[in-house]
Chains A and B, each alone.
Chain A
């Protein structure tokens, strides 16, 4: 018996790889997907959330603490998107590598230009982000900016695999630029179209495609709209030739459906992130699907 145990331990030690894969804790599916594309077999990525969850509201579950405790790198959105749960995980995980300010803490939002930074915030105006709109994932040009920064960070943390990561990054960047041209060409017909959004999460996407967001169903983010506001949205839809109302797949569609019933405009459910619907299985298909769904409706 004793010999078996000794043998088992020896086998475990000998069979350990030359260096372990970099363990990544990715807060959202899009950053998990990007980490996998860039890191390849040099990384092992844990997806903290899925595409059907609202990244604002995640419970600081025991399993998340266990995963973060062993992570070498935290890849999150930042811009206080995760402020309702990530601070608890960071406090409880006892992992100095991933604390803010250390090399193992990567926040995507630091590498893109933020939209909608409010000059003044007051909770009576609803739940506004002081750092600006955190939903940077909806503009694929941001993905490239984040990929550049994340590739550098991965190479810093995993020197033996740096060359391979650089190769993967260059291939990804080339493919992504080609895809951007394809999407932009395909979405030309969407320019100047007018839509209504259910919640303020699409600013980056609409700016990218030149779609005009003429009204939001929620006038104050996170607070049910007043009847006056809804009346004004109905007026805007009728007067301004609005063609559709947009919401993300993880949101309850009933507010959008209410507007559809009132006005007869189209409803567009967009995947928002990887895994948000059945077609959005990776970063490329996320925007393929987003552009396709918009073109179908608008």
Chain B
């Protein structure tokens, strides 16, 4: 064993404290030359239950809400372009290429950059400002998959066409109110009801610091709208439809700690959300109509700790539950008295800000029998790398 090798190991642990220059190799972008970024991700999954038969009793799930695929699987490759159009407007396009050779517009929006008085405006197709996790892209998540409650109630996340207005109040304590008027096409809505004006959201966020080492943010969100012929539980031969009103309310809380606010060495993030959804209308399941008024809810609590530079560990507890409306026994809406839970643990290594390798283990009791899940994941961020939100 070579002495320098040992030295290098000791050193690698210590030197990693050294600040990295995030901005790195980015060439200055110009309005003629949009900033380009590419996210590459892939997983190796091992599930003790067949992931294609994934279900949560009591929920008629939206498409692509499963735990993933067995074995090697390419994730979505995300391409993002952004630039200023002029002194007033900037635009962002984020498209994802699926391994099945489809292209999805994740986000395509414009925003105003010169508004005064704490105002912000966004228009186009975007991830709604609802909740904490909803507007985040998957490559920024601390776990390989999203929270169970987002999977069950929002079909992973709610994105739609519309307009967003935000206002930061002129107060010392950060306070922001935001509203969105949306088309009503994205799950949990569908069918762009009310002449393509079928959904709206509202959000209040407050936040501040406690000393130099701690900071927090608290958010309250509401989502209202309606669905017409919303398709769920889609298979090659059948699907389930819902027409009616949908409302989701949420509360989210984040607490971050870093000694003296220096996040490079050690830092801790605690994050929790609670969501509740009401639906009132008609489910059509196997050509039978069920008039339902149901309530589903769920929460997650997670802690992610960077115990030394580049290395993080995390733990997450998930839970979702649904009440069972009368007369739906035997359908996907029959919760069978089951409360779905999942416990996850992860460890990840970031060589730089631009690469990440993660190992995650979950005991997933979404369904009536337990599923042991192991996920290995890589996420690489190439090209321009946008600043991260809180």
Interface on A for B, CB 8 Å cutoff? Answer: 49-50, 52-54, 56-63, 65-66, 69-70, 80-81, 83-88, 91-97, 99, 101, 121-123, 125-131, 134, 198-199, 201, 217-218, 221-228, 230-231, 250-252, 254-255, 257-258, 262
- Which single residue of chain B is at the shortest CB-CB distance from A88? B387
**B73: Cβ under 8 A from any A Cβ:** no
Does B264 sit within 8 A of A, measured CB to CB? Answer: yes
- Which of B23-31, B36-44, B270-278 lines the interface with chain A? B23-31
Pairwise interchain contact B21-A56, C-beta atoms closer than 8 A? yes
Chain A residue with Cβ nearest B217: A62
Kindly identify, within residues 182 to 228 of chain B, every residue whose CB is under 8 Å from any CB belonging to chain A.
205-209, 212, 215-217
Q: Is B120 positioned at the interface, with any CB of A under 8 Å from its CB?
A: yes
A87 to B11, CA, bound (A): 33
Within 8 A of A (CB), among B1-23: 2, 4-5, 7-8, 10-23
Contacts of B170 in A (CB 8 A): 69-70
* Residue B89 at the chain A interface, CB threshold 8 Å: no
- Contact in complex: B7, A94 (CB < 8 Å): no
Q: Which single residue of chain B is at the shortest CB-CB distance from A93?
A: B168
User: Which A residues are in CB contact (< 8 Å) with B8?
Assistant: 224-227, 230
With both chains docked as a complex, state the minimum distance between the C-beta of B19 and any C-beta of chain A, in angstroms.
4
Across the interface, do B215 and A63 meet the contact criterion of CB distance under 8 Å? yes
Report if B71 contacts A (CB, 8 A): no
Residues in A neighbouring B176, C-beta threshold 8 A: 65, 92
Question: Which of A56, A59, A66, A123 lies at the interface centre, i.e. has the most chain B CB atoms within 10 A of its CB?
Answer: A66
A57 and B24: CB pair below 8 A?
no
* A14 CB to nearest B CB, Å: 21
Contact yes or no, B23 A54, CB < 8 A: no
Taking beta carbons and an 8 Å cutoff, which residues of B are in contact with A? 2, 4-5, 7-8, 10-28, 87, 111, 113-120, 166-168, 170-176, 205-209, 212, 215-217, 256, 258, 260-265, 309, 351-354, 386-390
CB atoms of A60 and B168 under 8 A apart? no
8 further A-B contacts with Cβ under 8 Å, apart from A53-B261, A83-B23, A224-B12, are A59-B256, A91-B111, A94-B118, A96-B115, A222-B18, A224-B15, A227-B2, A251-B18
CA distance A196 to B325 in the complex (A): 71
In contact, A225 and B11 (Cβ under 8 angstroms): yes
Complex alpha-carbon distance, A217 and B15, angstroms? 8
B118 engages A69 (CB within 8 Å): yes
List 4 A-B pairs, minimum CB-CB distance, nearest first.
A62-B207, A252-B17, A222-B20, A254-B14
Asked if B389 and A93 sit within 8 Å, CB to CB, the answer is no
Say yes or no: B14 contacts A255, CB within 8 Å: yes
Q: Do A83 and B22 touch (CB < 8 A)?
A: yes
Chain B neighbourhood of A57, CB < 8 A: 19-20, 22, 262-264
B25 touches A125 (CB 8 A): yes
With A62-B174, A96-B114 in contact, do A221 and B168 touch (Cβ < 8 Å)?
A: no
Would you call the interface of chain A mostly helix, strand, loop, or mixed? Answer: loop
Report whether over half of chain B's contact residues are helix, strand or loop; otherwise say mixed. Answer: loop
Residue pair B260, A129 in contact (C-beta under 8 Å): no
Docked pose: A93 CA to B387 CA in angstroms: 14
In the bound complex, what is the Cα–Cα distance between A258 and B8 (angstroms)?
10
Verify A87–B386 contact, CB threshold 8 A.
Answer: yes
A173 to chain B, nearest CB (A): 31
A-B pair number, CB within 8 angstroms: 224
A222-B352 CB under 8 A given contacts A50-B212, A57-B22, A93-B118: yes
Separation of A53 and B264 alpha carbons in the complex (Å): 8
Q: Establish whether residues B116 and A95, one from each chain, have CB atoms under 8 Å apart when the complex forms.
A: yes
Q: Which residues of B contact A198 (CB under 8 A)?
A: 15, 18
In the assembled complex, which residues on chain A have CB atoms less than 8 Å from the CB atom of B206?
62
A to B CB contacts below 8 Å, 18 in the list: A50-B260, A54-B264, A56-B23, A57-B20, A59-B390, A66-B175, A70-B170, A83-B23, A84-B353, A94-B168, A96-B116, A121-B26, A125-B25, A129-B24, A130-B25, A225-B11, A226-B8, A250-B262
CB distance from B80 to the nearest CB of A (A): 14
Q: Give Cα distance in the complex from A222 to B20, angstroms.
A: 4
Per the bound structure, the CA–CA distance linking A132 and B205 in Å amounts to 38
Q: Provided the pairs A63-B174, A69-B168, A227-B8 are in contact, do residues A221 and B21 lie with their beta carbons within 8 angstroms?
A: yes
For B205, the chain A residues whose CB sits under 8 A away are 62
A94 to B8, CA, bound (A): 47
A271 to chain B, nearest CB (A): 14
Report the Cα distance A279→B28, complex, angstroms. Answer: 37
Given contacts A57-B264, A87-B386, contact A222 B19 (CB under 8 A): yes
CB pair B168–A65 under 8 Å, yes or no, is: yes
A134 neighbours in B (Cβ, 8 Å): 21
Do B10 and A83 touch (CB < 8 A)?
no
| Residue of A59, A99, A218, A227 touching B4 (CB-CB under 8 A) | A227
Of all chain A residues, the one with the shortest Cβ separation from B10 is A258
Verify B21–A128 contact, CB threshold 8 A.
Answer: yes
Question: Which residues of chain B are near A257, meaning CB under 8 Å?
Answer: 14
| A54-B262 contact in complex given A63-B208, A94-B120, A224-B12, C-beta closer than 8 Å | yes
For A231, what are the chain B residues with a Cβ–Cβ distance below 8 Å? 4
The residue in B19, B87, B262, B263 that gathers the most chain A C-beta atoms within 10 A of its C-beta is: B19
Across the two chains, which residue of chain A brings its CB closest to B87? A101
Q: Is the CB of A130 within 8 A of B168?
A: no
A186 to chain B, nearest CB (A): 29
Q: How far is the CA of A251 from the CA of B4 in the complex (A)?
A: 23
Beyond A62-B205, A127-B21, A230-B7, whether A94 also contacts B116 by CB under 8 A is yes
**Partner of A91 from B17, B120, B262, B265 at Cβ < 8 Å:** B120
Q: Which residues of A contact B173 (CB under 8 A)?
A: 66
Contact residues in A for B166 (Cβ distance below 8 Å): 92, 94
Cα distance A10–B12 when bound, in Å? 63
Find out whether the CB atom of B174 lies under 8 angstroms from the CB atom of A65.
yes
- CB-defined contacts of A222 to chain B, threshold 8 Å: 18-21, 24, 352
Whole-angstrom CA separation of A95 from B114 in the bound complex: 7
A128-B24 CB under 8 A given contacts A54-B19, A63-B207: yes
Q: Which residues of A sit under 8 angstroms from B15, Cβ to Cβ?
A: 198, 217-218, 224-225, 252, 254-255
The residue that B25 contacts in the complex, of A63, A128, A258, with Cβ under 8 A, is A128
Per the bound structure, the CA–CA distance linking A227 and B6 in Å amounts to: 8
